[in-house]
Each structure stands twice: as structure tokens, then as C-alpha cells.
Amino acid sequence: MTPQELSQALAQILADNFAARGGDAATIEVTEQDTQVERPKNREHGDWASNVAMKFAKRVGTNPRALAEEIVAETSKIDGVAKAEIAGPGFINITLDAASAGETARRVIEQGEAYGRGDALAGQNINLEFVSANPTGPLHMGHTRWAALGDSTARVLRAAGAKVTSEYYINDAGAQMNKFGRSVLAAALNEEAPEDAYPGEYIQELGRKVLAQEPKLVELAAHDREAALELAQELGYQQQLAEIKDSLERFNVHFDVYFSERTLHAAGPNGEPSPIEAAVGRLREQGHVFEEDDAIWVRTTDFGDDKDRVFTRGNGIYTYFAADAAYYLTKKDRGFGEKIYLLGADHHGYIGRLTAIAGAAGDNIETDITVLIGQLVNLNGAKLSKRAGNIIELDDLLEWLGSDALRYWLARYPADSPLALDGEKVRSRTNDNPVFYVQYAHARTCAVDRNAAAANIARDAFVPELLTHETETELLGKLQQYPGIVAGAAELREPHRIARFLEELAAAYHRWYDNCRVIPLGDEPVTDLHRTRLWLNDAAQQVLRNGLDLLGVSAPERL
């Protein structure tokens, strides 16, 4: 029996109890959120504990202990519950029978990769935008944290049943692209860099690649500088974007959509207004557009923004806000219910701005948009890029630390907490390094499998009531918790909960390994206990692998 099933059973017991009482009690709604169970701190108190009697007693006109007695009487009848007892002022402690608890191992094995996946967010169609770095240079450490968190968040949301589109917004329009083009052209022509050029050897590399791709660039620049600039900018942009995509793939980060900002400025095939031109009309229909000082404004203060925003200035030039608004409307048009933005620490001002766009577009700002702001990460020992000079590149971090270690460490902390990491600890192969500790637990389960095969021990018998050792009870309890951990991480958009759970699971597995043998000693015969323990070993292996996959981290069979 899983904690979710136990919560469902308690919810039904309460609903029946209140219905029998009649009157106002019969109108009380009980949900599984109200009846969630927890592991007691002292395992002698049982497998699971509930405070539901204390939550509802006053509402039905009785005291917690009296209500607990009624709940306990019914809980004791649940198939798989060994006993239910009252503690203190009305806590309920529940102990499962060994067979019921042990059945968790069979369930995990039978469900395999599907174990832990659920439908808590079924029906939700979510757009998740993250990284979205300008395509004017390589990805750096600031982008790295959002790449890890964003991709893990997408995986967790999908595991909870949501349909998720991960999206990278390419800022390929505007002044920064013109500056980029001038920098690349100067490098290609071996000219002195413009005063405002992007620094770094990577620009020189791009210049060489552009010239190799288009040798006639020098001749073109001699008689049509603007055409040469346009060509160098486009070729350099495509080269840099390809490098960004390659870096992300090496980091095991996948995007479903790369959305170009330039498409917002492009007219339709039959002369239709561009999305950015159409956006102001659409917002005007919602009643939030006004004109003042020869400019077009959106009254974003109606939705909590600190000031109204300019959409189009008197000279007809669209602002960055206009592009943000048009981009949001494309997400709405594509059918996304919730739009999640993962932004860096320097984007706090975007919270009110993006929320106001959602409101002005007629969306519910409480449910249709979420803006998450991440804090900076500092990594001791990291070196500035040799190519870029003034930044720490993602590619250099991958070469130094590896994708697994970097992803795990970045995912195991809440996004809004500043993060300072020790590079040597991140790459260490000791139990003090959480990613090594968890991966080692998985590798250990695989070693047990290999040794079991050599000893001719197979999962051809399963007697769950034999799993009675305290470390087996603890390990089974952890396995039971996993589906709830995934659902909670998805609902809260907090993938770090998966990492912390995996560390607890690994610790429980290591304690079990130290106390319970799958392989008999010496001439000791193989029994059903050994075979059943192999089921438990493989169930732990499956959940470790499932959890690591949600973090985009590999589950090695050997370390």
C-alpha cells in the first residue's frame, strides 16, 4: 500500500463519517491533500502517521481524540493495515503488515520506468521557457543553472502528466545583433575591432569560420559594406546558434522549440501585419491601450506593474516590451494554458511586466503565468574562458566537471537560493559528494544483480512477508514515497525535491545492503528470503534510475 492509497482510504473514511453525522458535517469536503500521511520520526510508532482527527474535530463538533477513535476503528479494517493506534491528543499511527509493505517491491518492478509517473497535472498544457541567451556569444555559468533547472522541471512536469513544450527564445533582433554583426565582420576582414565590439577570441573564431564559408565576403565588403555586414551577421549568428545548441545537447538539455524573435517582426505571406504589429490591436480590444505624447502605451498598472509601458514610441519604433507582449500572445495562440518563464537574477523587473502582459491579454494572472527568478551561482575553482576571456563557459565547465555532476548539483537547490559550490567537491568520488553517493547506490544494486546471477539466484519467488528487517521496512517506505515526491515536485515546480529524496533513498539502500544479504554466505542454501531480497534490490535500482532520469543524470552500472 502506497501513502497515496492510504491517503485516499482515509479521505473516504472521513467522508463516510461526516455523511453519517448529517447536518453541516455532511457538507464538509475532504480531499487527499487533507489526509496526506507522513513517516513518523520514531519508527516504533508505525509506518505512517496522520493528524486528520486534529484537523477536522472542531468542524464536526467533537474533540480530536474522540474522532481519532472512530477513524482508527475503520482504518484497522483496511486490507494491508496491521494496526492503527491513537497517540497524544489525536495523532493516528498506522502500521502496515509486512506483506502489504513488501508488495511495493513487486509494484515497482512491474511498472518499471512508469513507477512514480502519475496524472496529477493531466490536462495541463504548459509552455516552459528557459535559458534564452542572446545568440551573440557562448553560454556561460549564469545560463548553466537555468539550463539544468529548466530541463529538470520539464521532465518532472511531464512525469506528473502535464504536456510540456520546452522553449528557447532566440533574441535575434535589435541593437545587440547589429553590434554582433559589426564584430564578426571586422574579425573576418582582419580589421581593427569596432569600439563597442564583443570581446573574446570566439569572435575571431567566428570571423574565420564566416570567411571560410563565404570567401567572397572580402570582395563584397569592398563595394557594398552594408551587404557584407548583413551577410557576416547572418552567418555568424547561425554559427553561434549552432554552438549554443551543441553545448546544450552535451549538457543533456533538450528544447522542443527554438523561437526566433525575428518572426515577430516579419509580415505574413500575404502582407498580413506582423505579430508585433497585430499585438497592439489585440491588447486594445481588451481595453488596456491608450495614446499619450505621440506614443502608444499599455496600462499595465491595472495588473500591478509599477508603471505603464510604452509599446510604440512617437518615431514608430517598437520597444522591447512590444516584442515581449507579441511573444506572449504567440504562446496564448498556440494553446498553452500556463506559461512558465525561468529568468535570471537580473530580471526581477520582468515579474510585474510579464504578469501585466498576461492580464492585458485577458489571461488569469493567478493561473496562466508563472515567473521564476533564479539566483546567481558561484563555483570556486572555475576558470575564465580562454576564448571569451571575461566569462566562464558552459563548455569549459562540462570538460572540467562533467554533465552529471554539474546537473545534479545545480538541480539539488531551490532556484531562489544563492548557490556557492566547491568545484573540487563537485567532481570528487567520495560519499560526501551527493551525486557520487546516489550513483554509487545505483551501481551497487547492479553489482548485486551480477553477483546474484553468478550465484544462480533469480526473482523466481516473491514472499513479501519475509521482508521484516528494520532496514527493509525503511527502504520499502522510501520506495512508497517516490510517486508522491514526484507529484509534489511537479506541482511546486521544484525539481530539487527529487535530488534530496534520492539521497535519502540511497542512504536507506546502503543501510539495507550493510545488514541484509541477497547472496548467501558460504554453503548457506539459497532461500525465498534471498530471492525476495533480490526483488527489493532491483526495486531500489529502478527508483534510483527513474529519479536520476528526471534530473537528466545518468545511472551508471559501474563506478
Instruction: Report the sign of the C-alpha dihedral through residues 278, 282, 285, 287, in that order.
Output: negative
pLDDT of residue 179: 96
Three-state DSSP class for residue 539 = helix
Residue 511 — very low, low, confident or very high, per pLDDT cuts 50/70/90? very high
* CB of 52 closer than 8 Å to CB of 35: yes
Q: What is the pLDDT of residue 77?
A: 92
- Residue 494 predicted with pLDDT over 80: yes
In this predicted structure, which of 41-50, 109-118, 239-248, 331-340 has the lowest mean pLDDT? 41-50
- First-residue to last-residue Cα distance in the chain: 34
Predicted TM-score (pTM) of the model is 0.90
- Residue 498: half-sphere exposure toward Cβ, Cα within 13 Å: 36
Supply the pLDDT for residue 330.
Answer: 97
CA 172 to chain CA centroid, nearest Å: 26
**pLDDT confidence of residue 457:** 96
Read off the pLDDT band of 192 (50, 70, 90). Answer: very high
Give per-residue pLDDT as tens, 232-264. Answer: 999 999 999 999 999 999 999 999 999 999 999
The beta strands (E) that lie in 403-472 are given as: 419-422
Rounded CA-CA distance 100/108 in Å is: 13
For cell 505512517, name the residue.
48
State how far the Cα of 148 lies from the Cα of 36, in Å rounded to an integer: 30
- The residues pairing with 259 across neighbouring beta strands, listed in sequence order, are 169
Q: Does residue 43 have a pLDDT over 80?
A: no
Distance, C-alpha 234 to centroid of its chain: 33
Render pLDDT for 447-477 as a digit per residue (tens, 0 to 9).
999 999 999 999 999 999 999 999 999 999 9
Tell me which residue of 120, 119, 117, 147 sits closest to 132, measured CA to CA.
147
Q: What are the domain boundaries of the chain?
A: 3-96, 101-120+430-550, 175-250
- Contact predicate 84/92, CB 8 Å: yes
Element (H, E) at 360: helix 350-360
Q: How confident is the model at residue 527 (pLDDT cuts 50, 70, 90)?
A: very high
Percentage of the residues of the chain whose pLDDT score is greater than 70: 100
Rounded average pLDDT over 289-308: 91
Whole-number pLDDT of residue 42: 77
Backbone angles phi and psi of 528, in degrees to 5: -65, -25
Inter-residue contact 377 to 408 (CB < 8 Å): no
H/E stretch holding 129 reads strand 125-129
The C-alpha atoms of residue 81 and residue 98 are separated, in whole angstroms, by: 9
Is 377 or 410 the better-scoring residue by pLDDT?
410
Pairing of strands 81-87, 289-292: unpaired
SS3 84: strand
Secondary structure element (H or E) that encloses residue 378, with its range: strand 377-380
Per-residue confidence band for 268, with pLDDT thresholds at 50, 70 and 90: confident
Which secondary-structure segment (H or E) carries 542? helix 528-550
The mean pLDDT value for 159-165 works out to 98
Q: Please tell me the least confidently modeled range out of 45-49, 132-136, 319-323.
A: 45-49
Q: Per-residue confidence at 355, pLDDT binned at 50, 70, 90?
A: very high
Asked if residues 532 and 463 have their Cβ atoms less than 8 Å apart, the reply is yes
Q: How far apart are alpha carbons 384 and 386 in whole angstroms?
A: 6
Q: What would the pLDDT profile of 380-416 be if each residue is shown by its tens digit?
A: 988 877 787 778 999 999 999 999 999 999 999 998 8
Report the half-sphere exposure of 189 (CA within 13 A, side-chain side). 23
At 445, the pLDDT band (50, 70, 90 cuts) reads very high
The x, y and z cell numbers of residue 493, run together, are 515546480
3-96 and 101-120+430-550 share one CATH topology? Answer: no
Query: 46: pLDDT confidence band, cut at 50, 70 and 90?
Result: confident
With residue 50 as reference, give the H or E element that holds it: strand 48-50
Q: How many residues does the chain have?
A: 559
For residues 435-456, average pLDDT: 98
The answer to whether 358 and 337 have CB atoms below 8 angstroms apart is: no
Is a pLDDT exceeding 90 seen at residue 115?
Answer: yes
Please give the class, per CATH, of domain 101-120+430-550.
Answer: mainly alpha
| Arithmetic mean of pLDDT, 120-144 | 95
- Average pLDDT on 495-523 reads 96
What does the mean pLDDT of the chain come to? 94
The CATH superfamily of 3-96 is Arginyl tRNA synthetase N-terminal domain (3.30.1360.70)
Alpha helices in 76-174 (DSSP H): 98-111, 141-159
pLDDT of residue 41: 78
Q: Is the pLDDT of residue 283 over 80?
A: yes
Cβ–Cβ < 8 Å for 369, 338: yes
The residue among 293 and 139 whose pLDDT is bigger is 139
In a 3-state reduction of DSSP, which class is residue 554?
Answer: coil
